[in-house]
Chain A
Amino acid sequence: MKQITAIIADDEENLRMGLILLLERLWPELKILGQAQNGIKALSLIELEKPDIAFLDIQMPGMTGIAVAKKVSNACKIVFITAYDQFAVQAFESEAVDYILKPLTPKRLETTLARLKKQLGGQEQSLEFDLKIKKIIQVLENREVPGYLRLIKVKTGSDIRFVPVSQVLYFKAEDKYTIVQTATNEFLIKTPIKDLENDLDPKQFWRVHRSAIVNIERIQAVKRSFTNQMIIGFDETTHHIAVSRSYEHLFKQM
């Protein structure tokens, strides 16, 4: 019988070594063809060595384990390794893709190895692996969606700064630019108000005017001017923003 081969990819050396030692104990006949410390090396190693099995850590620099798996698709059996990722684990479970959890336990690894032996011995090909991976990638990518903008990239002279959104009092459109106003500074960015509105957490940032978005956590008071226009004042500053009539309802009953 042909000797079964494998490669191991993980960015942490101790974990690679640990897995190798464990595999030597549980499956002495398995030949380890090589190790990779990042996704890119893992991919070239698989293409070069053509192993039967690839143990791939998910969080790797360069390229994630899942991206590597997608590239090699059905070239070899793949076992994912992950430390703590409820989301990924759920995706693996639902697509019946092999995975092991860090810290590795011999018992759990034995189950995986037994399944691998069975699959490789019986020439049981799972042709739809490619499809499964695509589904998993979709699930994992979808979870990124609720992430709102947390830092605003601004240029100040030759410097590039990142302003945490919690420091922003308001965004205001001015000609081709958008003013980012903090308690102490004013920055100009090119992102239009409309795009910002989509990227900011709507619980914290409210559009109050065609040309203004305010951080409601920084509002000190909402007052009426003598022309009966609603005016928003901000903490510790003299800055203010006018609320247009069509947005006034946001502040009613406050």
Chain B
Amino acid sequence: MQPFKSKATIHSFIITAIFNTLIAIVLTYMVLDDHHFFDVFIISQLMGLSICLCVNIAIHFTDGNKWNVATNVIGLITGVFMGSLLSWGFLSLFRGNDFTYFFKHVFSYVFVFGIVFGVPISYFFSSREKIIESEKLIQKEKIKRLTMEKEAAMTTLRLLQAQIEPHFLFNTLANVISLFDIDIEKARQMLIDINEYLRISLQRTRQEMITLAQELDLTRQYLEIFKIRMGDRLIYKINDQTNKSDLAFPPLIIQPLVENSIKYGIEPDVSGGAITIDCRIKENILEIVITDTGKGLDEDANKAGIGINNVSQRLENIYGSDASLILKQNHPRGIKTIIQVPL
């Protein structure tokens, strides 16, 4: 049931009363040429307000379906009868008209004028409501669209920040600067790696899909940078057994997981560790397994893996329930992440 919207309901009564007054003036002086303005005015108000009340009640009982024609018609007809009855009450009480007189001479006028004015005025109200509602809808759509646009922009920014994390960038640049004094050839190689990494990062952030080979290239670039930084503490291996260079794959799935492995698994571990990435096709499913031999996740680190929920959500957005992401403890130590997506 639709609750009475008091403000809107009161509004409709006031507007109806104004209409009634205008109708009374028109009827008295232009149509009937009757000089009992007061009586016409009262009857007009009784009729108009009855219709208004009945239509409002009808709308109230039909779950607020404002522009349902039947609702309006039922309200209108009930209102006209109620108005006629009240008019008769008024005339019999104050003007001494008996029922037969009223029925013969007044009722038809009252009834006909009730219908004649009631229909366009009800129509006016319902179309006014319609306009207000559709404006609200447009406003809502606008807000929704703007929010979505903002969210898309924020996502792009977040993705970009996730890849070019300041800590990573500054530490890497610090390495290059140091390497200029130590090993100029290594410094050059590292700059080339950073350059490639940034280029691919910036490009792919705007793309929905890249290829698996591209994602692996970027990951290799990333790992190469860490290899120079961490030396013997990091060993990595990428095994792509798909034998396909054009497998479509979303960006930012493998690299963030590798980043997690380094950040929470290998970098904080005194002895370092190894990262292995295996890609293979098993019966129309592409499986990617990322294994690290780092510290693993302890209770506190459960709060750390920011990237994992992002990756999980991205996979779901793209593949629905056809994709899966499973994180397991690796034996004897570290984490194993298994991604499966349909081909």
Q: Which A residues are closer than 8 A to B by beta carbons?
A: 11-15, 17-19, 21-22, 38, 40, 59, 61-62, 83-85, 101-104, 144, 147-153, 159-167, 183-184, 199, 236
Contact = CB atoms under 8 A, between A and B. Distances in A.
A72 B309 CA distance: 39
B171 A184 contact: no
Nearest to A102: B174
B124 to A, nearest CB: 31
Given A83-B167, A153-B302, A159 B328 contact: yes
Given A12-B171, A151-B308, A183-B321, A163 B179 contact: no
A21 B182 CA distance: 9
A164 B171 contact: no
Given A61-B268, A103-B174, A150 B231 contact: no
Interface string B174-204: 1111110110000000000000000000000
Contact of B182 (A11, A18, A162, A164): A18
B203 to A, nearest CB: 24
Interface residues of B, number: 45
9 contacts: A14-B179, A15-B171, A21-B181, A21-B182, A83-B171, A148-B303, A164-B327, A166-B309, A236-B321
B179 A103 contact: no
A85 B308 CA distance: 22
B276 interface: no
Given A18-B182, A83-B170, A147 B304 contact: yes
B26 interface: no
Nearest to A155: B329
B340 to A, nearest CB: 12
B327 A14 contact: no
Contacts of B326: 161
Contacts, number: 126
A164 B175 contact: no
B328 A14 contact: no
B167 A162 contact: no
Contacts of B325: 164, 167
A12 B229 contact: yes
A167 B321 CA distance: 11
Contacts of A151: 297, 302, 305, 308, 327
A17 B181 contact: yes
B49 interface: no
Contact of B174 (A15, A160, A163, A165): A15
A67 to B, nearest CB: 13
B209 to A, nearest CB: 21
Given A159-B328, A183-B321, A184-B321, A14 B302 contact: no
